[in-house]
Amino acid sequence: MSMSRENGLPVSDDIIDRILLFSPTFSSLKAAILICKQFHRVFQSHPNSVVRAVAYNITGPALPQALACIRHPDVQTHDREFPPRVSWSDADEDSDDESTISNHKEVRNTPRRQADVQTHTEELGDLSSAPITPSETHQIIANSKIVARLEDMFSFRYIDRTASTSQLSPSDSRAFHVAVYHLMLYSAVTHLDSWVIDLTDDNANAEEHRKQLEKGKKSFSPLSTSELLQLYSVAEFLKEILSWCVRTSGYPSEICDLVLVVGPERILECFDNQEIGSLEPLEDLLDFLEEELELIAGLSYSSSPHTQILESRNIEIPSDSNRWLSISSRVSERNSQCDSCRKSFGFGAHSRSTFVEISHGECLRLHTTSLRSYEPQHIHRYLLNNLRYNNLETESLCKEAKKFGPSLLLQIWNDLWNLNIAQQPSQNVGQPSIPPSSDWTEDSYLCETCFTSFLRENLWVWWRHIKASSETLKENCWYGYNCRTQTHSIAHASKLNHLCEQTRF
């Protein structure tokens, strides 16, 4: 087969075009363009289609909905009164995207005014077919990261908690993405922060409230019943996340009725800011609502636009047991329950797989607010009974724990499991016992309460195992970990071993 060498390469322009079309990110597209003059020439011949193809590679089939989130006239003309939101895009993507396509004449690097958007609508009939601007590529990347992150969390919670990435099927994934983008559009169109237009005229404000909610409802009206049910499922999931954040904030649970107008991005920000204040991204919004408390009552989630439309179509609102089935038939409530108490663990699951992620420096698909209390310098708090007040034991434990760093919980979990498997009654007379494996497996998922109990019952066993592997343990104290003398007598604490059970009563 002969190949065209007009470009100086052993491949034709058509193949170069296909390479550019399959670029997974705008960064990789830029790299391809910069590395070879011929690649740049092919790109310049039809930049709009290449940029659109890469955008599709990033968002998937939900690209039209992704574009609607940033091209809707009310979104374009709205100026936020609250501080700018956190950027979700990676540094390399942030720095590369705009320069990738800023030179070709068909794409403008200027914000669209409402008149511009209306002109495009008249000319093209569909905003989703308009050329993608450099500024839009940033928003596409940022929003796609939010959507993907939420999908991973949903999959972990209800599909497969052993996987760090989404296990949704392609069709289920598309349904989830489309629903999130619809919710993003709704929150952007209603933009709650601009509802008060006249501090002295409540009637004018009420009329503005009505108009904004009507705009949001119109964004849902064209959706099919199946799409509305999928949107309902995702909205319920977002409400679960917001409820998890609200639980320790001091705010009433009614705040969760704001889930639609708050939007997916702010809810995810709250989730990621739990250690410094779970609702910090909403502080300005909540300050505003403190003066307009009746707005919360008017935003009751049970009477939200999507539920109103479903009811108007005589569609029954899904019950708790099947509210996720519109997204995936593989959803299992059992997947979100603690293996010990059988209650829902919320978003605070503790398992070997999560400890592996923590040891690698991240655990993005869930959040545990007490991770700091499990750090090496604090781990002694989980020693049993009076052991935690034995200064010699706590100091030596913390010193040893620091050697493991972020892998500490993983090390404890693995060692305890291996110790349980290897334990033989005939060879371990007088040794501490491990809970039966029927109550705890290597792959168990425990809620915050059950994991705290597990650690408190077994940390001393692990610490004894570590000490015994490197030194000869002293004679056991009769009163073991319940000994009160160890808490105030250094001589007694150093003379006897208290990592043992009480034998004298």
State which residues form the domain around 166: 62-75+121-333
* Same-domain pairing of 267 and 387: no
Alpha carbon of residue 188 to chain centroid: 20
Contact 123, 163 (CB under 8 A): no
Residue 223 lies in a domain: yes
CB 448 within 8 A of CB 343: no
The verdict on residue 44 lying in a domain is: no
Residue 117: per-residue pLDDT: 37
Task: Write the CA distances from 188 to 16, 229, 259, integer angstroms.
Answer: 39, 21, 13
Q: How many structural domains compose the chain?
A: 2
Do 426 and 473 fall into the same domain?
A: yes
CA 95 to chain centre: 24
Q: Domain check: are 314 and 379 in the same one?
A: no
Regarding whether 218 and 70 lie in a shared domain, the answer is yes
In a domain? residue 202: yes
Amino acid at 451: F
pLDDT tens, residue order, the chain (505 aa): 344 455 567 778 888 889 999 999 999 999 989 888 888 999 999 899 999 999 999 999 999 999 988 887 777 554 444 434 333 334 344 444 444 444 443 333 333 433 443 433 333 345 567 788 888 899 999 999 999 999 998 998 888 887 878 899 999 999 999 999 999 988 888 776 555 544 455 566 566 666 766 777 777 888 889 999 999 999 999 998 888 888 777 777 777 878 888 889 988 888 887 665 567 777 777 766 665 555 555 556 656 788 888 888 888 888 877 888 899 988 877 788 888 888 877 777 788 888 887 887 766 555 555 566 788 888 889 999 989 999 988 999 999 899 988 889 999 999 888 877 655 443 444 555 554 444 678 888 888 888 888 889 889 999 998 888 887 788 889 888 899 998 998 999 888 888 888 888 7
The verdict on 240 and 306 lying in the same domain is yes
CA 222, distance to chain mean position in Å, is: 29
pLDDT at 229: 92
Residues 6 or more apart in contact with residue 217 via CB below 8 angstroms: 305, 308, 309
Rounded-to-integer distance, Cα 368 and Cα 272, Å: 10
Q: What does 203-224 look like in DSSP terms, one character per residue?
A: HHHHHHHHHHHHHHHHHHTTS-
Same domain (yes/no): 254, 125:
yes
Question: Can you read off the two tokens belonging to residue 28?
Answer: 């990789």
Nearest residue to 196 via CA among 204, 184, 186, 187: 204
For residues 328 and 449, state if they share a domain. no
Q: Is the residue at 164 inside a domain?
A: yes
CA 11, distance to chain mean position in Å, is 43
Do residues 347 and 241 make contact, with C-beta atoms less than 8 angstroms apart?
yes
Question: b/e string for 142-161 if b means 16 or more Cβ within 10 A?
Answer: bbbbbbbbbbbbbbbbbbbb
If asked whether residues 210 and 286 sit together in one domain, one would say: yes
Task: Answer for the pair 29, 20: CB distance below 8 angstroms, yes or no.
Answer: yes
Q: Is residue 97 part of a domain?
A: no
Residue written as tokens 């500024």? 135
Burial status of residue 42 (CB atoms within 10 A of its CB: 0-12, 13-18, 19 or more): buried
Q: Please count the other Cβ atoms lying within 10 Å of the Cβ belonging to residue 194.
A: 13
Same domain, yes or no: 401 and 284: no
Among 333, 361, 389, the domain boundary falls at 333
Q: Is residue 206 part of a domain?
A: yes
Residue 31 lies in a domain: no
Give domain status of residue 101, yes or no. no
Residues 320 and 404 in one domain: no
Query: Which contiguous run of DSSP H or E holds residue 177?
Result: helix 170-190
Same domain, 326 and 426: no
pLDDT for res 105:
37
**176: closest CA among 319, 59, 317?**
59
261 and 407 fall within a common domain: no
Q: What is the pTM of this model?
A: 0.77
